[in-house]
Every structure is written in structure tokens, then in C-alpha cells.
Amino acid sequence: MASFVEISRHNLIPLSVTSLCACPCRLLSNRSPITPKLKLNLLFHGSQPLFRLRPSSIYFNRRLITVVARAEPDESNADEEINKGHVLPAAKNSLSELQHKSSQLRKRIVFGLGIWISVGGAVLAGGWVFTLALAAAVLLAAHEYFELVRSCGITAGMTPPPRYVSRVCSLICALMPILTLYFGNIDISVTSAAFVVAMALLMQRGNPRFAQLSSTMFGLFYCGYLPCFWVKLRCGLAAPSLNTRIGAGWPYLLGGQAHWTVGLVATLISFSSIIAADTYAFLGGKAIGRIPLTNISPKKTWEGAIVGLGGCMATSVLLSKILSWPASLLSAIAFGILNFFGSVFGDLTESLIKRDAGVKDSGSLIPGHGGILDRVDSYIFTGALAYSFIKIFLPLYGV
């Protein structure tokens, strides 16, 4: 309970007082020649005055002094309130924040497991199952990309493409993987799509802007062209991986040993390496992260990147021993390094877009994870790098 000491000024009368009271607000005299007469009332908040001091005089330098002393809260009373079930506001806030984080972590784990089980099944199935699943993910990712381009953070410095152009581009991006599987290449589809979109932008009403053309063309490249390399990797590299022991016991109804191709093994290793890189980089950054990696994403650190690189390389080497591909240990290490840099570059590219858009996540479709683009950003560039590495640098596709 708080106590108050009130001091008011009267007339000047010389008097010497060495101490006024024994409370914490004790006033000591400095014997100044200016002596205002003071009337002191000592009272306790919430009760009647215990006693009054008659007008007296005291030596002071100031003409008017008001002293308010507030007592510290009684810890025993606070403990009693907590014991009685009355939780303090700070405790309530920390408890609710802890519950929220725990709920988000549960959602992240549950939906993450569901996503990767579905993705693993699509990769194993291959063919049209894998292609249609990829096309659906590309459609959602392209929609989120064009929504980011239309956000206030980006449109403050540029003119976004019209909404109908964005929707057409999203559909074209989703068709590109299907056309890649059907025709076996993506050059014709990309060129035709770029021509159609450019004509639509140039012939629109009003005043066309270069920013509209550049953001739309990058969307076709980023969300449509690059993911098509996963189709070329998984379905295009049909050379059998004869040394893979799992293929020897694979059921005949599911394709038998011929089902385990270089494309399937390379896709599984690449996907697993990317997951390991993200996981180890996150854990390493939380544990020992100190030095920021880049201003684009302040939470990423050099320590986390180094740990992620080690985890990616270890996963690639381990799976290469299990699946007997690639045959060379040096090739497995190089494949792991390539997957790591592709995942980091894709992650930073999407972080740059989100930073300019002024948002934390590209969407809210997946609880605990954000949008589709937040989950697939590490895979966008990696497919093209992995396919080029296997086609160009590995003799006989690494078999």
C-alpha cells in the first residue's frame, strides 16, 4: 500500500531540524539561510491520517517541495494472488504465447509430414502422377507470385501487370510441365508463352509499362520454366539404375526393377538433400548462429549455412551408398554441394521478393508453413542444376 508525504509552504521562520522522521523519505537539513515554514501531513493511502505535525519551520533551499513515496509491492501478496489462481497479466501473456508457439509447432509437424509423404508417393509413381502434382503446385505458386507482385510494397515503385494477364500466366505456368512430359522438351512452350504474354501486355489499353513486361516474363521463367526440369529429371532420365538393390526386390506390379531409373534415384537424393540442408541450416543457426549471411534474410547465418552444407553433403553420400548411385564418391559429394547452393539461392530469391512486397509469407494455404511458394522455393532452381549436372558432367548418367 502506498504512503504519501505532503509538504506545503507557509511563512519564513528560521529553525534548525536535523531529522524529520524515520521513514525512507527522511529529510535532512543543509542549514540554508532561506527557511520556508512547512506544514507536514503524513497519511496513508486508503486510511485515515495517523498523525499531523503542527506548523514548524525547517531549513531548505527550495520554497516548495512535494515528496511522494510509493512502497514496493508486497511479494507475499503477489504470491498469494498466484496461489489463489489469480494469474498476473505478464504471466497470462507468456502462457498464451507459449501455447500459440506449441500449437504452431504441432501444425507445422503434422502438415509437413503429410506434404512430404504425398510428395514421396508422387515421386515414386512418376509419369503423369508426378507431372500433374507438379503442375498443381506450379499453379498455386504462380498465383502467389503474381499476388506478391501486385502487393503494395512492390507496386509503390512499379506498375504491376493487369490481373487478367496474371491469371493467364498462372495457367500457362501450370501447362508447361504437362507439355514438357508430352513433347519431351520445353523450348517451344516457353517461347510461345512468352510471345503471347508480351503481345497481350503491349496491346493493352492505357500506357504499357516495362515493369509489367519484366515482372511477367520473370514469372514465366521462375514459376513455369524452371520447375519443368524436375519433369525432365524424373521422367526424362529413363536409364535403369541396375545397381540399386531396392529395385531388385521391387514388386513387378509396380514396375519391377525397371521402375528404378536414374531419374527416380536422382530425384529422391536431390529432394532428401534439400530437406536435410534446410533442416540442418535451421538447427545450426538456432544453436550457434551469430554472423548474418545476407541482408535479404537476416535470420540466416553463416554458421547455419555451413552446418546445412555439411548435412546436405552427408545425406547425398549416405543415399548414394544405399541406392548405389552415383558410382563415384566424388560425384556424390559434388551432387550434394550443387543441391545445397541451388536450395539456398532459391530460398534467397523468394525472400527478396517477399521483402520488397513487405510480407512475411507468400500465402496462408498451409497451416504452420505459409504458402506453397514458401515450401517450394528451395526446389525451383535445384531441378535445372541437378539435370544439367547429370546430363553434362556425369558419364553414362553416373551409373
Note the pLDDT tens digit of each residue in 284-304.
999 999 999 999 988 899 999
Spatial distance between the Cα atoms of 113 and 45, rounded to a whole number of angstroms: 60
Note the pLDDT tens digit of each residue in 333-372.
999 999 999 999 999 999 999 988 888 888 878 776 788 9
Q: Lowest mean pLDDT: which of 99-113, 303-317, 322-336?
A: 99-113
* Cell numbers that stand for 261 in this block: 531409373
Task: Give residue limits of the domains in the chain.
Answer: 3-72, 111-398
Do residues 394 and 331 make contact, with C-beta atoms less than 8 angstroms apart?
yes
Spatial distance between the Cα atoms of 241 and 264, rounded to a whole number of angstroms: 9
- Residues 247-267, mean pLDDT to the nearest whole number: 88
39 forms bridges with which residues in the sheet?
A: 8
Q: Is the pLDDT of residue 222 over 90?
A: yes
Note the pLDDT tens digit of each residue in 137-164.
999 999 999 999 988 778 777 888 889 8
- With 0-12 / 13-18 / 19 or more C-beta atoms within 10 angstroms meaning exposed / middle / buried, residue 30 is exposed
pLDDT computed for residue 114 by the predictor: 85
pLDDT band at 92 (very low <50, low <70, confident <90, very high): low
For the chain, the average pLDDT equals 80
pLDDT computed for residue 89 by the predictor: 62
Q: Is the pLDDT of residue 174 over 90?
A: yes
Give CA angle at 323 (320, 324), nearest 5°: 70
pTM: 0.74
